[in-house]
Amino acid sequence: MALLSFAEIPQLQAFTMSVQRLLKAQPVLAVVNDQHLVVCWQRRQTWFWRLGHWAPDSCRDGVPLLREAMGELLADLLFESDVLGAEILLVLPEASCDWRVLEGASLSRLEQAEDRSQLLSELTWSIDPDATVLALSPCADAVLALGAARPTVQAWIEVVEMADLPLRRMDWCLSAGLRALNRFCPDWTGDVAWLVHSCRGLRLVLIRAGVPELDRCVSLDVDDPLAAWEQLVQVVDAWQQINPAAPLGWWLSLPAKERDGWAGRCVQARGDTRLDHEIPGAPVAWDPLDSSELDPVVELVLSALPGERA
């Protein structure tokens, strides 16, 4: 009878991983949406990424439904990549949260319990004020209010718990991306049009002086992309008519095969400026044979976490 190696005993494996986690914590960025999960981690000064696809109907409208299976996928991806001591930095999908800009507001005052309760009752979003997780952060001269339904946040926490991993912090893909854009465009004095893929087509965020002033979703018909382009032009033109005219720069967080086409429509055709560029220190695929492309929004989100990348 073959002897059983100590390394093959499950209890010892679990104990070893727990000790390694305590000795060296490894921040792992996990960016999720309805279709898949992207994890990023650092090894020897290089950041790597891996993509895992949820099982069908695992997640809908930013809400995880098959939490145990989703947690197992997260754990398996990291285990197969030899990532030990992982602490998860979870970035929620765009459909999970909503945001509002509060002009002339005092962050210190809004952080008081009574003012937060009043603020929740006054915010014009679809989230139930009695079941809202609210985060407030400075945004230039304003305050950015970020909200998510408490059951949705709890469901994502349970996904990480199912993976038997500690949750270090949570963020939202658009608010993290906004921080990165403000860092990458310090010398640009005009407005910024940020275009990303949305679960409903395309999402356009118009930014002035670091503050998102307009957030609009545009339906995308693959058979008639010019229709989406016409909608985008109408939105931008209407916004610029209300606001004093300023140079407009576009940051296109789109797949490479779509980026140049939209650059031709959004930039050259209007005489605007293209701002997006290659991000230094972007992660590389864990599998060198993997030909898939990393979502440009993930690159932005990762660069928005400099404190976690040390």
Cα–Cα distance, 233 to 29 (Å, whole number): 35
Contacts 24+ apart (CB under 8 A), 176-182: 176/91, 176/300, 176/301, 176/304, 176/305, 177/253, 177/297, 177/300, 177/301, 177/304, 178/139, 178/205, 178/207, 178/212, 179/304, 180/300, 180/301, 180/303, 180/304, 181/207, 181/251, 181/300, 182/210
Amino acid at 37: L
**Predicted pLDDT of residue 242:** 84
**Buried/exposed 23-48: b ≥16 CB within 10 Å, e otherwise:** eeeebbbbbbbbeebbbbbbeeeebb
Is residue 116 within 8 Å of residue 110, measured between CB atoms? yes
Domains annotated for the chain, with CATH where assigned, are 20-184+282-303 (3.30.420.380), 186-274 (3.30.420)
Residue appearing with tokens 């800009």: 101
Give the model confidence (pLDDT) of 119-165 as tens digits: 777 788 888 888 889 999 999 888 999 999 999 999 999 999 999 99
**Predicted pLDDT of residue 8:** 54
Is residue 147 within 8 Å of residue 121, measured between CB atoms? no
Euclidean distance between the first and the last CA atom of the chain, given in angstroms as a whole number: 48
**Predicted pLDDT of residue 120:** 75
Is residue 190 within 8 Å of residue 247, measured between CB atoms? yes
Give the model confidence (pLDDT) of 87-131 as tens digits: 999 999 999 999 999 888 777 777 776 667 777 777 888 888 888
**Predicted pLDDT of residue 228:** 83
String of DSSP letters for 109-134: HHTSHHHHHHHHHH--SSS-GGGEEE
Structure tokens at 293: 């492309």
CA–CA distances in Å: residue 66 to residues 34, 86, 163: 11, 22, 13
Structure tokens at 119: 């603020």
Is residue 168 within 8 Å of residue 27, measured between CB atoms? yes
**Predicted pLDDT of residue 307:** 53
How many residues would you count in the chain? 310
Amino acid at 167: L
**Predicted pLDDT of residue 266:** 75
Amino acid at 288: P
Largest CA distance in the chain: 82
Bridge partners (DSSP) of residue 135 are: 146
Is residue 274 within 8 Å of residue 267, measured between CB atoms? yes
pLDDT in 10s for each residue of the chain, 310 residues: 445 444 456 555 555 555 555 557 899 999 999 999 999 999 988 999 999 999 999 999 999 999 999 999 999 999 999 999 999 999 999 999 999 998 887 777 777 766 677 777 778 888 888 888 999 999 988 899 999 999 999 999 999 999 999 999 999 999 999 999 998 888 899 999 999 988 878 999 999 999 999 999 988 776 676 788 888 889 999 998 887 778 999 999 999 888 888 888 777 778 899 999 888 888 999 988 888 899 999 999 998 875 545 4
Amino acid at 160: V
